[in-house]
Amino acid sequence: MPISAEAMSISAPAGPAIANPAEGKLGAALPLWSVIPFVGILLSIAICPLVVPDFWHHHFGKVSAFWGGLFAIPFLFAYGGEAMHEILHVYLLEYIPFIILLWALYTISGGILVKGAPIGVPINNLILLTIGTALASWIGTTGAAMVLIRPLVKMNKYRHSKVHLIVFFIFLVANVGGSLTPLGDPPLFLGFLQGVEFFWTLNLLEPMLFVAVILLFVFFAWDTYMFRKEGWHEKMHLIKSEIDMPDDMVDDVVITEQAEVEDPKTHKMEPKKYKMEIKGLFNIIFLAGVIGGVLFSGKFKLGEVTVLGVHMEWQNIARDLFLILMGFLSLKFTPTEFREGNDFTWFPIEEVAKLFAGIFVTIIPALAMLRVGMEGQLGFIIQAVQEPAHYFWITGLLSSFLDNAPTYLVFFNTALGKSGQDVAWLMTDGAPTLLAISAGAVFFGAVTYIGNAPNFMVKSIAEQSDIKMPSFFGYMIYSVAILGLIFVAVTFIFF
């Protein structure tokens, strides 16, 4: 589940997490059935919105707390201080930084208002997805997704079929696009902290382009088909006020460049000119501040402080405070009407915060078992990886549901251990293995809603705009059917 990977990328290097002796004991001792609460919360996310939607909408936080408590309370009774340390470690070093990062990006991006956006015809949608895919490697998948999801929704507000737009947006902007630099996706940032050269990840360019180009081609064909099926291609010659469109869209959307109005001076019919306006662009400064804060925490060491028995690094504390400052500055300087124009509410970040408060604690046993390798109940998974193709699929499948940052590190260290080599070897002779681990951790984040941090937020923002998104398993029908075939091709071509 690359979702908490965002937290790992801005909190602490992975080495200490692997080497924690208490965690090692727990990983070897925990029984396999201790992952049941994690499975339970995933099934709740998948089933409850379908079966009991009203209950879920009002009580999803309580459901998350139930599963979290179902694991945490017996865990504390059985392992005492070790369990308490592990829970505090997860919340102080991973969950809280994770939420702070998402809150800052969500808040800042919500202050950027696009008015007069071009109409969501297939070619314009394709251009937006292409731009988002390119941006994701440089401002992060979460940053790119939060900046561009509202313009995409606004551009296509008049469309009847919108689900495919959001699904492909998650595939491309929220995941695959973040493949090329350590800024793009958290596993790659952790690889950078482990000694992988910053621009080594450009080796992912060929598989990334292969996946992205196929997805963009499929998207364009799909969107064109839906556009024509709804009959909009026949209405493009009409002025927007003559199209069945809500009144509140008149100032925000351009339907056609063919619309004509009378020139008051010449009294001749002239093409009507539309102007796209982006307000709140100063928020880009605050987005740059977030990126700078993340990089600062990864490159500089300012010492440690112990909080409730957990060693916290000062540069990470400084980073989190700085990210909070960036968010509050955005709130202070952005006019309220900009956020109102984006239909901005706090519900998406509230939903993510409550659900992942439960996910982060229930995921503890699965990750602990993986980190101890053959000594844990999941040792058979570690034993199964031999070839680059194995690393690609196993790293990827686990990253779809678990945290892709530690999952990346588990198999990063597994590759080093089995080869008896160092990181320099992984970047040269062992490059196919590192490439497979990196691609698996990033690409497979698109397989589930919880696969990467922005996925769930994009879904929530879309639903706030009255787009009825598919259920957890419904989304997986899209992802498995589309991405599954592409990933099989990636395996044979590159791994």
Long-range contacts of 382-387, Cβ-Cβ distance < 8 Å, separation of 24 or more:
382/410, 382/414, 385/411, 385/414, 387/495
**Structural tokens at position 76:** 């504390």
Q: Residue 137: what residue type? A: S
**Structural tokens at position 334:** 């952005």
Looking from the CA of 464 toward its CB, the CA atoms found within 13 Å total: 21
Would you call 448 helix, strand, or coil by DSSP?
coil
Instruction: Report the pLDDT value the prediction gives residue 275, as an integer from 0 to 100.
Output: 63
pLDDT per residue of the chain (495 residues) written in tens, 0 to 9: 444 434 333 333 333 333 344 445 777 888 889 989 988 998 898 888 888 888 988 899 999 999 999 999 999 998 888 889 889 988 888 888 888 888 888 898 888 887 766 788 889 899 999 999 998 988 888 888 888 898 898 888 888 889 999 999 999 999 999 999 887 887 887 787 677 888 899 999 999 999 999 999 999 999 999 988 877 655 554 434 333 444 444 444 444 444 444 555 565 555 445 566 788 889 989 988 988 888 888 778 888 888 888 888 898 899 899 999 999 999 999 999 888 887 788 888 888 889 889 988 998 888 888 777 778 787 787 788 888 999 999 999 988 887 677 778 778 877 877 776 778 888 888 889 999 999 999 999 999 988 887 898 899 889 888 889 998 889 999 999 999 999 999 999 998
Distance separating alpha carbons of residues 411 and 281, to the nearest angstrom:
41
DSSP states of 175-225 as a string?
A: TGGGGSSTTTSHHHHHHHHTT--GGGGGGGHHHHHHHHHHHHHHHHHHHHH
Distance, C-alpha 348 to centroid of its chain: 13
Distance separating alpha carbons of residues 407 and 409, to the nearest angstrom:
5
Distance separating alpha carbons of residues 32 and 37, to the nearest angstrom:
11
- Name 167's Cβ contacts closer than 8 Å, sequence gap at least 6: 470, 475, 478, 479
Say whether pTM exceeds 0.85: no
> How many C-beta atoms surround the C-beta of residue 424 within 10 A?
12
Q: Are 324 and 104 in contact (CB under 8 A)?
A: yes
Instruction: Report the pLDDT value the prediction gives residue 249, as an integer from 0 to 100.
Output: 45
Instruction: Report the pLDDT value the prediction gives residue 327, as an integer from 0 to 100.
Output: 93
For residue 451, the 8-state DSSP code is: S
| Nearest in space to 365 (alpha carbons), one of 82, 102, 92 | 82
Instruction: Report the pLDDT value the prediction gives residue 217, as an integer from 0 to 100.
Output: 96
Instruction: Report the pLDDT value the prediction gives residue 338, as an integer from 0 to 100.
Output: 87
Which residues are paired to 253 by β-bridges?
Answer: 117
Instruction: Report the pLDDT value the prediction gives residue 436, as an integer from 0 to 100.
Output: 94
Instruction: Report the pLDDT value the prediction gives residue 301, as an integer from 0 to 100.
Output: 85
Q: Are 166 and 145 in contact (CB under 8 A)?
A: no
Q: Which residue ranges make up each domain of the chain? A: 5-494
Distance separating alpha carbons of residues 172 and 102, to the nearest angstrom:
19
Instruction: Report the pLDDT value the prediction gives residue 250, as an integer from 0 to 100.
Output: 41
